[in-house]
């Protein structure tokens, strides 16, 4: 035996030929020796196993059984299924390759995964882990990796570091234990998953260690959780930055972390296209087992109707240059209800972009800051501005009416883009580019009825002398709120009716020959 041959040593504890149904042409090992030695193989002829005329080339199902030890003295490409209880791979010039559509199956506890080249579409599937040592060589680059271990009773990490999964990671079940990608002891470089993560049952996380470290994960596809517990970290000592580029869909499952209030464990939405967050029947870890989310500069997250509930004590943070979208009638307050007690607090940047795209009427709310980079309104049922807002870049009026009774202001580089939508209060442009009312108007006071104070909003389109007075039901003047020359603009004033009896009142706005009135009710 040459020392530079790859060795694949099978140390099986049970005969695994019965684990996969036989088909004519399948192979199974029959003693120890070289892979290329046909006398070390049997082939199935439909009713019995007989001595093989030639060694397997990789097609069909190949079972490595018993205590057989086979040494790779030839390059082999697996195009079917290779079943092994355990294995050991040494350094060699020869290679094992798993072709598209092929599979390696490890149906027993512990065992060894062959060091190999895993082509696009190949799968490594672990089904027999229970406890004890992790499968050897689990920290290599795979295409698809599937973990389906219903009898698992212990936690296990794969010790990945700098590895790339070219396809999907599927967690069918982890039994009563947990499966981790890595641990601080073994981690030194980011782990990248190019496909999706499918989580169905069990518990899955990046790590589960109390040791201090920073672990970085990149997922380029979607994360789809339909059961079990998905955690960024189940380790109390690690900081975890999980950069996610796809959809995030969680239903009938739990989200949590174990870093307490002192560790930074967060999912960072970093995609180049719109990423949807969809949460349904989600529970969260209690206390400081929070789940933090951050939208990175340049990324767009659509929250839709999703609710991040108040049982999540984590934070939702939107960076400057990021974009978030909502379809909730109450705006972002309807989506982001996490308490922010951990992770720095809920924070929506004044340099971010905000989109309202619901199907029923929406308000912008007060969680959206009073200064934004851009604001996009795409709702045929209309959107109402909840407070005076500065828009530093573009107001995109895509669809529906924008109720700008409460005024907005454009920053130095601000611009209104009419793309199919409209405004309730017509707009004019002042000398400095600010938005000014194009019409003389008086809005209904709020609240109404009131006691004892109420707010009155009005707009002046031209420079001139303005009076705003209040009269009782007998036509007697009871208050003069405004009585001076005013520049064009939108104004809000307050009337304190303390000392006046309950009843109907009229507020009268006068500017030159223009007069408007509204009725008000004081209810004590």
Assign domain 441-522 one CATH number from 2.60.40.2550, 1.10.540.10, 1.10.10.10, 3.40.50.10680: 2.60.40.2550
**Confidence category of residue 398, pLDDT binned at 50, 70, 90:** very high
Sign of the Cα torsion 474, 478, 481, 484 reads: positive
**Confidence category of residue 434, pLDDT binned at 50, 70, 90:** low
Where are the chain's structural domains?
441-522
Residues 256 and 229: beta-carbon distance below 8 Å = yes
Predicted confidence (pLDDT) at residue 359 exceeds the cutoff of 60:
yes
Predicted confidence (pLDDT) at residue 14 exceeds the cutoff of 50:
no
Half-sphere exposure of 123 (CA within 13 A, CB side): 17
Whole-number Å distance between alpha carbons of 239 and 100: 36
| Residue linked to tokens 């009563």 | 176
Angstrom CA distances, 412 to 308, 415, 431, 435, stand at 35, 9, 12, 11
Angstrom CA distances, 130 to 50, 109, 402, stand at 34, 6, 60
Residues 44-74 have pLDDT tens digits of 999 999 999 999 999 999 998 877 778 888 8
pLDDT-above-90 percentage for the chain: 69
Give ∠ CA 83-87-93 in degrees, rounded to 5.
Answer: 105
pLDDT of residue 20: 61
**H helix or E strand, kind and range, residue 334:** helix 332-335
Angstrom CA distances, 502 to 209, 331, 371, 469, 505, stand at 67, 35, 39, 18, 9
Residues 228-240 have pLDDT tens digits of 999 999 988 888 9
**Confidence category of residue 153, pLDDT binned at 50, 70, 90:** very high
Predicted confidence (pLDDT) at residue 515 exceeds the cutoff of 90:
yes
Q: Residue 476 contacts by C-beta under 8 Å, 6 or more apart in sequence?
A: none
Beta bridge partners of 301: 275, 324
Alpha-carbon dihedral of residues 125, 130, 149, 193, nearest 10 degrees? -50
**Confidence category of residue 8, pLDDT binned at 50, 70, 90:** very low
Longest dimension (CA), the chain: 115
Angstrom CA distances, 415 to 191, 387, 394, 409, 434, stand at 43, 19, 5, 10, 10
Q: Which residue, 294, 385, 389, is CA-closest to 338?
A: 294
């Amino acid at each position: 035996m040459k020392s530079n041959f790859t060795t694949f040593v099978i140390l099986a504890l049970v005969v695994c030929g019965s684990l996969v149904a036989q088909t004519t042409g399948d192979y199974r090992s029959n003693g120890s020796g070289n892979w290329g030695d046909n006398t070390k193989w049997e082939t199935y002829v439909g009713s019995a196993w007989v001595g093989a005329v030639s060694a397997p080339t990789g097609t069909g199902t190949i079972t490595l059984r018993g205590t057989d030890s086979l040494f790779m003295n030839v390059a082999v490409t697996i195009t079917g299924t290779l079943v092994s209880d355990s294995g050991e791979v040494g350094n060699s010039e020869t290679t094992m390759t798993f072709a598209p559509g092929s599979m390696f199956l490890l149906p027993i506890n512990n065992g060894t995964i062959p060091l190999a080249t895993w082509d696009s579409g190949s799968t490594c599937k672990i089904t027999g882990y229970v406890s004890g040592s992790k499968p050897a060589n689990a920290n290599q680059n795979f295409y698809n990796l599937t973990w389906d271990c219903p009898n698992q009773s212990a936690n296990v990490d794969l010790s990945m570091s700098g590895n790339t999964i070219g396809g999907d990671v599927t967690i069918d079940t982890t039994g009563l234990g947990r499966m981790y990608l890595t641990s601080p002891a073994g981690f030194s470089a980011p782990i990248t998953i190019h496909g999706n993560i499918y989580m169905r049952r069990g518990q899955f996380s990046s790590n589960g260690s109390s040791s201090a470290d920073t672990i970085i994960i990149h997922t380029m596809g979607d994360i789809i959780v339909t059961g079990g517990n998905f955690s960024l970290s189940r380790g109390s000592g690690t900081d975890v930055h999980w950069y996610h580029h796809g959809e995030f869909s969680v239903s009938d499952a739990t989200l949590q972390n174990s870093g307490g209030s002192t560790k930074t464990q967060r999912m960072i939405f970093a995609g180049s296209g719109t990423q949807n967050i969809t949460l349904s029947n989600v529970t969260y870890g209690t206390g400081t087992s929070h789940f933090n989310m951050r939208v990175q500069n340049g990324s767009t997250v659509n929250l839709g109707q999703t609710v991040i509930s108040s049982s999540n004590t984590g934070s939702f943070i939107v960076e400057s240059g990021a974009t978030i979208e909502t379809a909730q009638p109450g705006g972002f307050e309807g989506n982001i209800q996490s308490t922010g007690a951990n992770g720095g607090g809920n924070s929506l940047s004044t340099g971010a972009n905000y989109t309202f795209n619901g199907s029923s009427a929406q308000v912008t709310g007060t969680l959206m800051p009073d200064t934004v980079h851009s604001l996009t309104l795409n709702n045929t049922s209309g959107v109402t501005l909840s407070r005076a807002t500065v828009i530093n870049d573009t107001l995109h009026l895509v669809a529906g009416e924008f109720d700008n009774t409460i005024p907005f202001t454009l920053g130095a580089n601000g611009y209104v883009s009419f793309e199919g939508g409209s405004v309730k209060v017509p707009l004019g442009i002042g000398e400095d580019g600010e938005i000014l009312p194009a019409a003389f108007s008086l809005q209904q006071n709020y609240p109404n009825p009131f006691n004892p104070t109420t707010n009155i909003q009005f707009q002046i389109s031209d420079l001139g002398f303005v009076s705003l007075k209040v009269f009782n039901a007998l036509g007697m003047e009871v208050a003069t709120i405004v009585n001076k020359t005013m520049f064009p603009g939108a104004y809000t004033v307050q009337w304190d009716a303390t000392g006046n009896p309950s009843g109907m009142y009229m507020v009268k706005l006068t500017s030159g020959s223009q007069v408007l009135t509204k009725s008000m009710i004081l209810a004590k």
